[in-house]
Amino acid sequence: MEKSILIVDDEEGIRKVLEITLTDMGYNVHTADNGENALLIFKQIKPLIVISDIKMPEMDGIDLLRMLKQENPETEVIMITGHGDIDLAIKSVKYDATDFVTKPINNESLEIALKRAQERIAVSNQLKKYTLNLEQLVYEKTQKLIETERMAAIGQTVMGLNHAIKNIASGLKGGEFVLEKGFEMNNQKYLIQGWEMIKGNVEKITTLSLDLLDYAKSTEINYQACDPNLPVREVTDLMKFKAKEFDIELTVDLCPVLKKICFDPELIHRCLHNLLANAVDACKNFNPNTNKKKILIKTVNTNGWGVEYQVIDSGCGMSKEIKDKLFRGIFTTKGSFGTGIGLMITKKIIDEHKGIIEVVSEEGGGSTFTIRIPKCPPINENN
């Protein structure tokens, strides 16, 4: 336990008696004859215990107590008071003095006050130790949780890759089988079908490889002041013929009051293209009982954001289980058709823009994907 102690009293006789007494108790004693000197000494030696007279000229003991507590709230201060100053002694306790002793100072009373101060110091140290240990425990558990989640995400990614590769391998084997039958039977139709199957799966391998490379490399965002409606127009022009092929009504609703914002139009184009392609796939094989298959892509002027994009479809929708997996790994709702990396790349691009992406969907009730992009690029990003 720290044994340094500071005595503050304007009477030299009291300082001397206390110095001898406390030295005999094993303390390393320092003395000051007024409050100002006491503060100077206190800042130098930083004792955990101070014994101060409550009535002193210029700076009294109450003012000194308050300043000592401002300097170090954990300092234990014992006040010395006369019999007529009990009200002041009680006031000092309100300002967090440890205890007070009355003049003439009784050694037994002084020892009790010092013991109380040492007990408070011990409790404070123990609390610090517990707090430090608790913080360390929380940190360690947090790191383990992060590592567990990271490994789980890796596991989901590996399983997703395994699933995609198996689908492609099965497609190649199927194409090979049909092609061989075409050769055996000299059947032109089988030859064409088998070759188309093989070409389609080779294309899937190429797409998967490129998607993995795109996801692995760091994305360099080329911020430009641009009309946020531009990527929507471009993506719609690209996808309108595919939508028409599957009898899907594709509608565009562009907010006319949007101002230019700083973002990467090519990367946002890519995100919207991914979402629109997914919407087409969700609608093309879905046969609703009533309304026609529809997709709406729109921009919204949302308070606090540069732009909000919405891609709304009337397709097959998703269960909660599927929604929870969408952005966490390689996962696709397209069966053997998709690789599942498109949404991961989309999420990565939006995250790097410091934006958000959300989905609302119900099985059989369509889906709404929402992207929000900030008005300005993040600080310290290269424009």
Pairwise pLDDT comparison (327 vs 75), residue with the higher score: 75
Please tell me the number of Cα atoms within 13 Å of 161 on its side-chain side.
10
Predicted pLDDT at 371: 96
Comparing 111-115, 119-123, 204-208, 212-216, the range with the smallest average pLDDT is: 212-216
3-class DSSP state for residue 98? coil
Q: Write the pLDDT tens digit of every residue in 174-199.
A: 888 888 888 888 888 888 988 988 88
pTM, rounded to two decimals? 0.49
Say which CATH topology domain 4-105 has: Rossmann fold (3.40.50)
Predicted pLDDT at 335: 42
Predicted pLDDT at 133: 84
The span from the CA of 231 to the CA of 270, in Å, is 9
- CA 84 to chain centroid: 59
Euclidean distance between the first and the last CA atom of the chain, given in angstroms as a whole number: 57
Confidence band of 339 (pLDDT split at 50, 70, 90):
very low
What does pLDDT average to over the chain? 83
Please report, rounded to a whole number, the percentage of residues in the chain having pLDDT higher than 70: 84
Characterize the bridge pairing of strands 224-226 and 76-81. Answer: unpaired
CB atoms within 10 A of CB 14: 18
Pairwise pLDDT comparison (73 vs 142), residue with the higher score: 73
Is the predicted pLDDT of residue 323 greater than 50, yes or no? yes
Confidence band of 204 (pLDDT split at 50, 70, 90):
confident
3-class DSSP state for residue 29? strand
Predicted pLDDT at 183: 87
89: enclosing H helix or E strand: helix 86-94
Predicted pLDDT at 369: 95
The span from the CA of 38 to the CA of 31, in Å, is 8
Pairwise pLDDT comparison (58 vs 30), residue with the higher score: 30
Q: Write the pLDDT tens digit of every residue in 48-105.
A: 999 999 988 888 899 999 999 999 999 999 999 886 677 777 888 888 898 888 888 8
Characterize the bridge pairing of strands 76-81 and 49-53. Answer: parallel
Say which CATH topology domain 224-373 has: Heat Shock Protein 90 (3.30.565)
Predicted pLDDT at 5: 94
121: enclosing H helix or E strand: helix 107-185
Is the predicted pLDDT of residue 130 greater than 70, yes or no? yes
Comparing 74-88, 93-107, 284-298, 351-365, the range with the smallest average pLDDT is: 284-298
The span from the CA of 10 to the CA of 173, in Å, is 100
